[in-house]
Amino acid sequence: MTEGKIVWSDTEGDLRKKKNSSNSNEAVDESKLILKIRRLTTGKGRTVIEIADLPSNKKWCQKLAKELKKSLGVGGAYKNDFIEVHGEKLEQVKALLEKKGLQFKQTGG
């Protein structure tokens, strides 16, 4: 159940699909972009690097996630508003973002 969000309109149809398609065409200004990076661990000792504050351009985010995973040789995913990179790769992720000319801030541990 959605929490107070309108998902269907008689005139416009399914609003969820319309919202997702409009965000994917916006240009990304990489010079003004500041990503947030944080290291997360689970109870079993697994580590995930999370990159947040991404732009709304879905294709750009998917491309960045693919480049990071491929160059580091690890798994991961682009989910709703963040990119996950599996493994203890914080320093390598920082180096790759710097190499691409992207600004970032590290939060947490």
Domain limits of the chain? 33-106
Q: What's the CA gap between 65 and 100, in Å, rounded?
A: 13
Tens of pLDDT, residue by residue over 78-92, are 998 899 999 999 999
Specify the higher pLDDT residue, 74 or 28.
74
Residue 63 DSSP SS3: helix
The per-residue pLDDT of the chain, averaged, comes to 85
Tens of pLDDT, residue by residue over 43-61, are 888 999 999 999 988 999 9
**What top-level class would CATH report for the domain 33-106?**
alpha beta
